[in-house]
Amino acid sequence: MPQPLLIATGNAGKLREFRRLFEQLELRDWELVAPAEVGLDGFEVVEDGQTYIANAARKARSYANAARLPALADDSGLEVDALDGAPGVYSARYAGPDADDAANRAKLLDALADTPADARAARFRCVVAVAYPFTTNTRLGEGAVEGRIAMDERGDLGFGYDPLFELPGGRRMAELSADQKNRISHRARALQDAQWALAALARLRAGKR
């Protein structure tokens, strides 16, 4: 019987991706639960870590403790070589703490205005952390996808920087269907890397029931 796993995000786009990814990877030991379903609607964790690992681990532990359930969190970002890896861990708030996706993309385009097409190499990177309530240990997975930042936006699928992120071959991340994206995305690769942790946690939970 599937066990509850809290997905530690208030981002509806991420939640949809994780639901599809768990189906695609046939991770049937878990029933994904949204924060709102366990009384944590609006619950926030300060993401002031200097690395994806620090932020993902803090979120996973905080949500797990608050809900008294195993929790999975991720931290991800866009790394642009011409900007020395920025926006990186600050990707979600690149244009300010209250900025939306459109504002972040606009700032990125402005920052790269004088950067030629062949110098816009970039990657999406993601770290996934899985935590058990009231423990300090977290188990991790990491994934990345390489590409470049295009000169303009294209595509209306996905979210975040997807309309600007051009994959090898010329397609934008925002032009991929959910199934196509989930085969190659940084979040998909991080979750695949964390499958062993999810399997181990499922065995632990089953043994305690």
Q: Would you please indicate which residues are annotated as catalytic (active-site) residues?
A: 75
What Rg, from alpha-carbon coordinates, does the chain have? 17
- Give residue 135's Cα distance to chain centre: 23
Integer Cα distance of 191 and 209 in angstroms: 25
Q: Residue length, the chain?
A: 209
Integer Cα distance of 49 and 122 in angstroms: 22
Contacts of 186 (CB under 8 A, 6+ apart): 76, 123, 124, 125, 126, 143, 144, 145
